[in-house]
Amino acid sequence: MTEPLYGTPHPHGPLLGPLSPPLLRSTTAGQPDAEALRAFGAGERSGEFYQRLGHGNGRAFESLVAELEGADGAVAFASGMAAMSAALAAHLRAGDRVLLAEEIYGGTSAFALHDLVRFGVTVDRFSALDLGGLRAALQQPARLVVFESPINPTLRVVDVRAVVALARAAGARTVFDGTFAPPPIQRALDLGVDLVVHSATKFFGGHSDVLAGVVAGRHELLGPIEAYRRRSGAVLAPDPAWLLLRSWPTLALRVQAQQAAALAIAQELHHDLRAGSLQQISYPWLVDHPDHALARAQMQGGGCVVSLTLPGGLPGARAVFDRLQRIARAPSHGGVESLATLPAFTTHAALSPAQRQRAGIADGLLRVSVGLEGVEVLLADLRAALRR
Ligand code: PLP
């Protein structure tokens, strides 16, 4: 077997040489002879050759992700969407059917509904919260089942093992968007999914300065994805790869601290529910969360996002949002800076108010991604904004 052309887990030895890896920007690399050129060209060798076919900084990042996820390997991309679109495109052909969760990142829906369908793929929707509906949908053959958990922005939790079992029994593979809860919060491959995709723009980068994505899983599924990457060209560049390596040693610390702060904020604000400044708090680690037991069974914590439903619908949420002083009014999540968004204006703006309501997304929903500013600072900001 030829060596994998992407990063694989490797045992950690003693730290030798420069502790910070060199950044290699060279797009091409001199080779000793024609045989080396032949081997690279034939895809038999990985190493420094031509940057789109892989490079040291990218492979180092991939190795870390593979290790973290307990995967055979990982393939890194220029963005989370490049990773997700490659995972889908590499495993689908005209005539195939995909089951796409209604509760999935909007960019993934847009790619499936605008692009996959143009190439003859049928895209059918299902709710990942309705296992009976999924079972019925799987009566017709499907190649892939695509879903996420926890669900953005309601923070409902999907029974990942159950979705995997249904898909597997029907001969379908599962592609899981793990962005919202990466390890150490949740290890999706351990829950049985075939491929886990991350927007590395979020927690893996962690400092709101890198756009990147990555897919991890088994070799048999990664080979076609790497081959698609070299053909389509959306490879992760060395500079963002280097920043991801820089962020890596603090990943677990950041995630744990942000998660602890998110839990503390959710618990504290829970006391305010009775006062009426808030209608609802969704956070999977609160005991009154509808999927709390399930969250406990498949996650190591409730994650770093808290969703608040404010009185007064969209105007009410908008007013609170505009009064925030410390929490940035910005899309994205997973970074050390706390960010707030209004899904009705952003990720779910394309849905009608009735569709949003059916999906459980109140117009007054404010999503807060909790960073590292400290619980006191963030609570004071939220409470001042809620008080009017
Ligand atoms: N998946 C989820 C859950 C996301 O939140 C995002 C981005 O917001 C993506 C995928 C896409 O990632 P990127 O913006 O890095 O392309």
Average pLDDT, the chain: 95
- Give the residue, out of 77, 148, 179, with the most ligand 1 atoms within 8 A of its beta carbon, to mutate for a pocket test: 179
Burial 197-215 (b: 16+ CB within 10 A, else e): bbbbbbbbbbebebbbbbb
| pLDDT tens readout for residues 98-136 | 999 999 999 999 999 999 999 999 999 999 999 999 999
Q: Supply 140's token pair.
A: 């017709």
Residue ranges around ligand 1 (CB below 6 Å):
79-81, 105, 107, 152, 177, 179-180, 199, 201, 211, 213, 332
How many Å apart are CA 38 and CA 16, to the nearest integer? 32
Helices 56-69 + 238-247 axis angle, to 10 = 40
pLDDT per residue over 72-89, tens digit each? 999 999 999 999 999 999
Tell me the CA–centroid distance for residue 190 and ligand 1, in Å. 22
pTM beyond 0.85, yes or no: yes
Domain ranges of the chain: 34-248, 251-387
25, pLDDT greater than 70: yes
Q: Which atom of ligand 1 is nearest to the CA of 82?
A: 16
- Residue 17: the pLDDT is 83
Most ligand 1 atoms within 8 A of CB, residue of 88, 108, 185, 202 to mutate:
202
Task: Show which residues are catalytic.
Answer: 52, 105, 177, 202
What average pLDDT does range 179-186 have in this prediction? 97
Find the mean pLDDT for residues 12-20: 81
Is residue 233 very low, low, confident or very high in pLDDT (cuts 50, 70, 90)?
very high
Asked, colleague to colleague, whether 34-248 and 251-387 share their fold, the answer is: no
What the block records as the tokens of 201 is 């723009």
Q: How far does residue 34's CA lie from ligand 1's centre (Å)?
A: 41
pLDDT digits (tens, 9 = 90+) for 33-58: 999 999 998 888 888 999 999 999 99
Q: Residue 374: what are its φ and ψ, rounded to 5°? A: 110, 140
- The mean per-residue pLDDT over the stretch 163-182 comes to 98
In this model, does residue 355 exceed pLDDT 60?
A: yes
pLDDT in tens, 56-65: 999 999 999 9
pLDDT at 11 over 80: no
Whether the per-residue pLDDT at 269 is higher than 60: the answer is yes
Q: Binning pLDDT at 50, 70 and 90, where does residue 26 land?
A: very high
pLDDT of residue 36: 94
* pLDDT > 60? residue 178: yes
Ligand 1, atom 6, lies closest to the CA of: 199
How far does residue 178's CA lie from ligand 1's centre (Å)? 10
**Domain 251-387 -> CATH class:** alpha beta
Measured in Å, residue 81 CA sits from the centre of ligand 1 at 6
- The number of beta carbons lying within 10 Å of the beta carbon of residue 75 is 35
Give the mean pLDDT of 285-299.
97
Q: Are 204 and 182 in contact (CB under 8 A)?
A: yes
The pLDDT, as a whole number, for residue 350 is: 81
Which pLDDT belongs to residue 221? 98
At residue 360, the pLDDT reads 85
Name the architecture of domain 34-248.
Answer: 3-Layer(aba) Sandwich (3.40)
Query: Can you tell me which atom of ligand 1 is nearest the CA of 180?
Result: 3
Compute and round to an integer the Cα radius of gyration of the chain: 21
177 forms beta bridges with: 148, 197
Residue nearest to atom 8 of ligand 1 (CA): 332
The pLDDT of residue 347: 83
Question: From the CA of 17, how far away is ligand 1's center (Å)?
Answer: 35
Q: Is the pLDDT of residue 1 over 70?
A: no
So what's the pLDDT on residue 298? 98
* pLDDT tens digits, one per residue of 359-368: 889 999 999 9
The Cα 86–Cα 68 span in angstroms is: 21
Query: Strands (DSSP E) along the chain, which ranges?
Result: 73-77, 97-101, 122-126, 144-148, 173-177, 195-199, 213-217, 280-282, 305-309, 328-329, 339-341, 365-369
Mean pLDDT score, 232-236: 97
